[in-house]
Structure 1
């Protein structure tokens, strides 16, 4: 694996200023993770890394451990091996609710500037699902950009209709289309990538994320598999998250396909994703309006008048319920954790006394 400068990996003076007492060789970026074993890279090379014992034993939850995209402090101890001493810099975290685990989050990657949300125009385009990814991005203060891949596999009329639906539902969302073996589409996408920024690819399996990453990198780094013509379904071609650097600058993170996109979002993310509904909610008769059955609800009235589509309204209610359920489950887990910690402390004090 080639070596990149810290700047090519996304390093800048703002990041350095957070721990300016460290030498450059102590800084590294996490480029891959495999069950608490990591690959980190800096100007000295790429290292297989593990976290130091004190970091493992003082960690309170998953956020205290490194993740792909993090800047960490390392201590090389053998050829190609290093210990991770601490997480140095993490501006944001992209996350979703862990599948089948209430109140738990799955952390996707960190320090991301923009997310490319990829949907295949010929098979999995769904506005409600787009909305879920958009909310995830807004929750992490990440700018989303929608890519409709394989646009040459649908008619121009169908593609135009998709674009109109997107514009109506997400008027501020930037949209690009890509076609198979169309170099002009890749060049247009490259123009969206800045040298010192980090970009991640999100979407279902088989929508073409890894193919796009390979084309941007100029090499077949990510495994891709063809889609079966019978089922028209994608396969999990990316099995882990990996960070790569483009030849002309720009950092890319490919992710495994997501079948489920559970919400962990804050109220601010919902406001960003549903600006019209949030604006109208201020006109509701009751300040605690749930926008479901109350008389004098400006949101319900807008739905009846056709100002808000029924589909967007129903998806808003569903995502809001998921967000509230996650927040409630997370609060219960924190409460139980505090109670357990208090009990352990009491037992320890009792033993010391006797």
Structure 2
């Protein structure tokens, strides 16, 4: 295997030279296990750790490697290496960290396309699709909607679901497939390009692992059945892992996500809800909250049926989440700055006392 098979390009090589990293080896993170990384290089795979300096200077989760990252490393024996630096990312998929207010969780890095996977029998949810779209657009990742388990419903219902998507979501490809019969797989394979990186986003039990197994031609990921009592999927995939497919495409699987928290997604919201954002410019008041104001162009469009009411409600909910996340981040930075100032003054006072 060479680096090109992993998605390495002339642009990445040019960046490596610009950063003067020629003395290091280059590899791509293919799996992560609690800050221990599996890095694939042209010479093979290494288990790797970051340097102490990288850990010490990291200001947040985004400063640590993630699956999909290109890294500069030094091998120390046949299967162990030290990571010295992360090469600049072309994209980074992220969401608000679960149970950690104001913090970001990295989903994957250097992604070209994201498959937004939903099962048509139970999981289908337009609001959740818009959340995934917002994450993609804010990360410079192109979305492709994939509807799975089409063998469980009839053609009429499939058409209804596809129509409901195109009514609210514009210019995003929609593919309908069955992991059991492989219907739709030809169209799916046709959109996967050699050397491009794709990732799977979706809830547990929608068929992501089975899809990966079928596309790779290997039984790489464990699969499980939907619980008959709860109608929910189990978290079979427990970590992110990069796989090279039979046709040369590169696919990253992800654990199922029950929560898709919005974080730092202003540009993503503008693209996902571009029709609503455009109407906002026509509101009577510049500081319109689009809730109760007279002369609100968005509310008028909702009343006339020109804007889907559920799309409007979903937009407002995500806008509130974004604002809350931004205010929480600002508060954290303020506290960190105050604490840093306190430490600085404490050290100065300590030095003066010692001099006396």
Structure 1 runs not aligned, ≥5 long: none
Partner of 2:166: 167
Partner of 2:212: 213
1:41 aligned onto 2:44:
no
Q: What's the CA shift for 1:11? A: 0.5
Deviations 1:183-240 (A, max 9, x none): 4522221111111211000000010011111111110101111223444321111000
Q: What's the CA shift for 1:56? A: 1.1
Q: What's the CA shift for 1:340? A: 1.2
Partner of 1:188: 187
The answer to whether the 8 A contact 1:135-1:265 is kept is no
Partner of 1:250: 249
- Structure 2 Cα separation of the partners of residues 173 and 24 of structure 1: 42
Partner of 1:71: 70
Partner of 1:117: 116
Q: What's the CA shift for 1:285? A: 0.5
3-state SS in 1 of match to 2:292: coil
3-state SS in 2 of match to 1:8: helix
Q: What does 1:1-354 align with in structure 2 at a 5 Å threshold?
A: 4-20=1-17, 21-23=20-22, 26-353=25-352, 354=354
- Residues 131-140 or 244-253, more deviating: 244-253
Q: TM-score of the superposition, structure 1-length normalised?
A: 0.96
- Structure 1 Cα separation of the partners of residues 340 and 246 of structure 2: 49
Q: What's the CA shift for 1:19? A: 1.6
Q: Which runs of 4+ in 1 moved over 6 A?
A: none
The answer to whether the 8 A contact 1:32-1:240 is kept is yes
- Residues 88-97 or 329-338, more deviating: 88-97
Q: What's the CA shift for 1:24? A: 8.7
- Structure 1 Cα separation of the partners of residues 91 and 338 of structure 2: 29
3-state SS in 2 of match to 1:107: strand
3-state SS in 2 of match to 1:201: strand
- Structure 2 Cα separation of the partners of residues 88 and 314 of structure 1: 39
- Structure 1 Cα separation of the partners of residues 24 and 121 of structure 2: 47
- Structure 1 Cα separation of the partners of residues 237 and 7 of structure 2: 23
- Structure 2 Cα separation of the partners of residues 100 and 117 of structure 1: 23
- Structure 2 Cα separation of the partners of residues 61 and 350 of structure 1: 29
- Structure 1 Cα separation of the partners of residues 233 and 120 of structure 2: 13
Indicate the RMSD between aligned Cα atoms, in angstroms: 1.4
- Structure 2 Cα separation of the partners of residues 115 and 5 of structure 1: 24
- Structure 2 Cα separation of the partners of residues 250 and 350 of structure 1: 59
The answer to whether the 8 A contact 1:149-1:208 is kept is yes
- Structure 2 Cα separation of the partners of residues 97 and 14 of structure 1: 30
- Residues 261-270 or 161-170, more deviating: 261-270
Structure 2 runs not aligned, ≥5 long: none
- Structure 1 Cα separation of the partners of residues 29 and 72 of structure 2: 10
Q: TM-score of the superposition, structure 2-length normalised?
A: 0.95
User: For residues 24 and 155 of structure 1, do their structure 2 counterparts lie closer, same or farther at Cα, with a shift above 3 Å needed?
Assistant: farther
- Structure 1 Cα separation of the partners of residues 212 and 65 of structure 2: 23
Deviations 1:243-268 (A, max 9, x none): 11113311110000000111114321
- Residues 136-145 or 22-31, more deviating: 22-31
- Structure 1 Cα separation of the partners of residues 23 and 8 of structure 2: 10
